[in-house]
Structure 1
């Protein structure tokens, strides 16, 4: 048995202008610059050094830190993501398969606090009291490579490979996400890729394969002249 409803659709024609004023709504609130919201100064320096090795500066773009990746991670950890406030976190906690993602009890802010402390302690013990940022680029890359391959046993029961995955994913998010969240400064990654960003309409260019997009990207914040309207 099928049950349905019937109704009428009404069309309206506007002339002499639109029934709303462009740019009259409040724009999104961007991440506030300056200072750490979650990280301590030491943690901030460590994360900044790590993201610079995950995304080193080259002839295509700036480094991960210069793109704002560390700031992005800091602001995310200080918000809903860090506390897992929008997720079910009551358990049971069982080890899942890789495709299921993280299944543990500690939330991201707890994971970062423990993970960064473990890295700091491990590096200091291995390199005569040095911090990660004091190591040479080759030493930093070697450490991160071993960490990713699960060949480093961090202290205090911190899973090195798992924690590396968190930092890597969050760094990529910060590099490619909209600048409103604190990363992708000046839309550097979008400009590198030729991504149009949050433009309303670019259908005229969808079928133009292997042709660079001719217009600059636009953030969720809108055009650069939003505030002047």
Structure 2
């Protein structure tokens, strides 16, 4: 019998984790009345998943190789486009623009041997969606916030975003870094 055994640590370093949080917030943003990737702690999903072995999922070794290269390349693209700021320092609109270019395959200086840009975007998008809508035991969908909002397994619960300052948003200038969502 297979049992989920969450790892003791995550895969990403502090900067990588923050970059994934910003990217996921741009992929599936929340609103005042609907939760998004930041509310669900969706970045926790690939962070936990990639810390597991290939016995958990056969693509984990490839993802472990792909993510650091992808995040480094996106940081370089962000620094060129946004005055030296890395992905972790982008606001939602800037991260969205970066992701649009990635999906279209139009970012310059993409590293040879890295996932093709559209495939890299597809990986980020898939892990974001899985981190939002998957079982919370896998590290995302914190407190089943998205399930509850959709009404699973009971009637839907309303969602009201807690009041936060602009600096608390993922990617906001001055946002806290390195904190688990």
Q: What interval of TM-score do these two structures reach, taking the shorter chain for normalisation? A: 0.7 to 0.9
Higher fraction of helix = 2
Is the contact made by 1:38 and 1:78 (CA closer than 8 Å) also made in structure 2? yes
Is 1:30–1:180's contact at 8 Å kept on the other side of the alignment? Answer: no
Q: Which residue of 2 aligns with 1:38?
A: 11
Aligned counterpart, 2:26: 53
The 2-side partners of 1:29 and 1:150 are apart by 36
Correspondence for 1:181 among 113, 131, 138: 138
Distance 1:43 1:84, change over 3 A: farther
Q: Which runs of 4+ in 1 moved over 3 A?
A: 28-33, 83-87, 213-216
Change (3 A) 1:137 1:169: same
Give the C-alpha shift of residue 31 in structure 1: 4.5
Deviations 1:116-164 (A, max 9, x none): 1111112112322111232332222111112112222353223221111
> Partner of 1:59: helix, strand, or coil?
coil
Identify unmatched segments of 5+ residues in structure 1. 1-27, 90-105, 197-212, 217-229
Change (3 A) 1:84 1:150: farther
Bigger-Rg structure (1/2): 1
CA RMSD of aligned residues (A): 2.7
- Distance in 1, matches of 2:105 and 2:75, equals 17
- Partners of 1:214 and 1:68 lie apart in 2 by 22
TM-score (norm 2): 0.72
Matches within 5 A, 1:207-218: 214=155
CA distance in 1 between counterparts of 2:10 and 2:26 reads 23
Normalised by the size of structure 1, how large is the TM-score? 0.58
Determine the structure 1 residue equivalent to 2:127: 170
Aligned mates of 1:146, 1:215 — CA distance in 2: 36
List runs of 5+ in structure 2 lacking aligned partners: 158-181
Alignment correspondent of 1:208: none
Residue 101 of structure 2 contacts residue 107 of structure 2 at CA under 8 Å; is this kept in 1? yes
Measure how far apart 1:214 and its partner are: 4.0
Offset, 1:44? 0.8
Cα drift, residue 85 of structure 1: 6.9
Match of 1:77 in 2: 50
1:111 lines up with 2:30 in the alignment:
no
Question: Contact 1:84–1:108 at 8 Å: present in 2 too?
Answer: no
Q: Does residue 130 in structure 1 map to residue 103 in structure 2?
A: no
- How far apart in 2 are the matches of 1:215 and 1:121? 42
Which of 99, 120, 132 is 1:144 aligned to? Answer: 99
> Is the 2:104–2:118 Cα contact (8 Å) retained in structure 1?
yes
SS of residue in 2 equivalent to 1:69: coil
